[in-house]
Amino acid sequence: MNQRHRKLIGALLLPASVVFWVTLATAVYLVLPEGLPWWVLIVYFAIAGMGWFLPAAVIIRWMLKPPREGQPVTRPSRENTAPVAKTST
């Protein structure tokens, strides 16, 4: 799988993983007993708020992984790019 495909898949996985994490964190919050001390809730929300970072970091690291040895490197062609305007000084 080349890097362009990994980036496309990662671009779809990142928002999906954040939605999954938010759903999971909300479900856990709704199961917590009522009347917990405020500092327990602050710790929970701090962990829940930063918890999406680990899955996102793994996905981003996978997206940016260089191609394997022997795998052709695909680069975008320059055929469809707009010509660069020359500036005169």
pLDDT in tens, 5-43: 999 999 999 999 999 999 999 999 999 999 999 999 999
Contact 70, 1 (CB under 8 A): no
| Of 32, 27, 23, residue with least CA distance to 52 | 23
List all residues 6 or more positions away from 19 whose beta carbon is below 8 Å from its beta carbon. none
- pTM, to two decimals: 0.67
* Other Cβ atoms closer than 10 A to 61: 10
Average pLDDT of the chain is 86
User: Taking CA 56 as the corner, what is the angle to CA 76 and CA 38, rounded to the nearest 5 degrees?
Assistant: 155
